[in-house]
Homo-oligomer: A and B are copies of this chain.
Amino acid sequence: MQRGPTSFDIAALAGVSQPTVSRALSGSPSVSEATRARVLAAAEELHYKVNKNASGLRRQQSRTLAVLFFDEELPEGAELNPLYLSLLGPMVKHCAECGYDLLISIQQLSSDWHVDYEDSRKADGIILLGYGDYIEYLPKLEKLIARGTHFVRWGSGDESQIGTTVSSDNDQGGFDATSHLLSKGRRKIAFIGSADPGCPEFLERWRGYCRALRAARIEPDDSLRVDSGPSEREGREALEKLLERGTEFDAIFAVSDVAAIGAMHALQAIGRGVPEVAVVGFDDIPAASLSSPPLTTVAQDPRQAAEALIDTLIMAIEGGSPPNRVLPVKLTVRQSSG
């Protein structure tokens, strides 16, 4: 392995000492402008880059953040949640802007992730992404806090007081989606998703749904609610279950785009068209605009979410006490709702 130039090489070329190089490059005010200029020129000439390992070792930090995806289904080659994937690009980008690197990891909830990262000094802080059972990883969150590890979670903000979270305004999203369907004259709006507190995000969307109905003086009808996960298959099966039940419905609000698309497929399979049955999803994944008909959905802004996660985490690392953040959502109307 050929070795690059060190700060000593720069020092020699610039005619100063190594510490001066370090100071000059890190912007210390105690270096004169003339010296700094010479050092920068020398560094440029030799293509010098600070050695991250040495720097990290000395300052006891890595200037790296870790993203941990939780995805129980991954062993079977399943895809990561599209929403998280769409966060990835913006996260990387914003991280770079803030002077941090981003390390990605995919974990099973059951593994020992909670000790892996800070322990090996790979990352200064952790971003946790994952649907999945909130309850199940609660004890591990407590351990993280006990160790003083900095972390931010994507999820529901109001349900628990553990750790800092960034989330979309799920309640408002559910409200907007439902209000939109009501404004189209729909009255029998099925809800595909779960009101299980293990998935606080879905629960909030359900609450928003109920709130919108009540605002229109309609009492939520449990027979219009089908418990379902967020996958295409589950969305399809949820709709089939609804049909078996025999409950009439003229619209569907699904807690994820993928489930909404699954429901549309099931509808089309039995000859009920969309938007005769109006459909609204949640997330605005790339496939939403590619479906037929294109899906009306509640968009979460991935860039904004990514930046909020990064900013919040960095604030925590640098000693602040960042508040939870709830990000606005935006109803994106396409053809599936008429």
Tell me if B1 and A61 are in contact (CB < 8 A): yes
Binary interface profile of A, 274-303, with partner B (CB < 8 Å = 1, else 0)?
Answer: 000000000000110111100000000001
Tell me if A74 and B60 are in contact (CB < 8 A): no
Enumerate chain B residues within 8 angstroms of A54, measured Cβ to Cβ.
53, 57
Tell me if A49 and B119 are in contact (CB < 8 A): yes
Residue from the list B52, B71, B88, B261 in contact with A85, Cβ < 8 A: B88
Tell me if B261 and A290 are in contact (CB < 8 A): yes
Binary interface profile of A, 258-280, with partner B (CB < 8 Å = 1, else 0)?
Answer: 10010011001000000000000
Residue A2 at the chain B interface, CB threshold 8 Å:
yes
Residue A80 at the chain B interface, CB threshold 8 Å:
yes
Tell me if B101 and A102 are in contact (CB < 8 A): no
Residue A99 at the chain B interface, CB threshold 8 Å:
no
Residue A148 at the chain B interface, CB threshold 8 Å:
yes
Residue A327 at the chain B interface, CB threshold 8 Å:
no
Give the complex CA separation of A57 and B62 in angstroms.
13
Within the complex, the shortest CB–CB distance from A107 to chain B, in Å, comes to: 9
Residue A3 at the chain B interface, CB threshold 8 Å:
yes
Give the complex CA separation of A104 and B88 in angstroms.
9
Residue A96 at the chain B interface, CB threshold 8 Å:
yes
Give the complex CA separation of A119 and B2 in angstroms.
10
Residue A98 at the chain B interface, CB threshold 8 Å:
no
Within the complex, the shortest CB–CB distance from A336 to chain B, in Å, comes to: 11
Enumerate chain B residues within 8 angstroms of A120, measured Cβ to Cβ.
49-52
Q: Tell which of A50, A121, A291 has the most Cβ of chain B within 10 Å.
A: A121
Give the complex CA separation of A89 and B77 in angstroms.
9
Enumerate chain B residues within 8 angstroms of A90, measured Cβ to Cβ.
77
Give the complex CA separation of A292 and B264 in angstroms.
10
Within the complex, the shortest CB–CB distance from A325 to chain B, in Å, comes to: 20
Within the complex, the shortest CB–CB distance from A8 to chain B, in Å, comes to: 15
Within the complex, the shortest CB–CB distance from A96 to chain B, in Å, comes to: 7
Residue A9 at the chain B interface, CB threshold 8 Å:
no
Within the complex, the shortest CB–CB distance from A101 to chain B, in Å, comes to: 6
Give the complex CA separation of A71 and B60 in angstroms.
34
Enumerate chain B residues within 8 angstroms of A82, measured Cβ to Cβ.
286
Residue A18 at the chain B interface, CB threshold 8 Å:
no
13 A-B pairs within 8 Å (CB atoms) are namely A3-B60, A49-B116, A49-B120, A53-B56, A53-B62, A80-B88, A85-B88, A88-B104, A92-B104, A96-B105, A96-B106, A286-B287, A290-B291
Q: Taking beta carbons and an 8 Å cutoff, which residues of A are in contact with B? A: 1-4, 47-54, 56-57, 60-62, 64, 69, 71, 74, 77, 79-80, 82, 85-86, 88-90, 92-93, 96, 101-106, 115-116, 118-122, 147-148, 232, 258, 261, 264-265, 268, 286-287, 289-292, 303
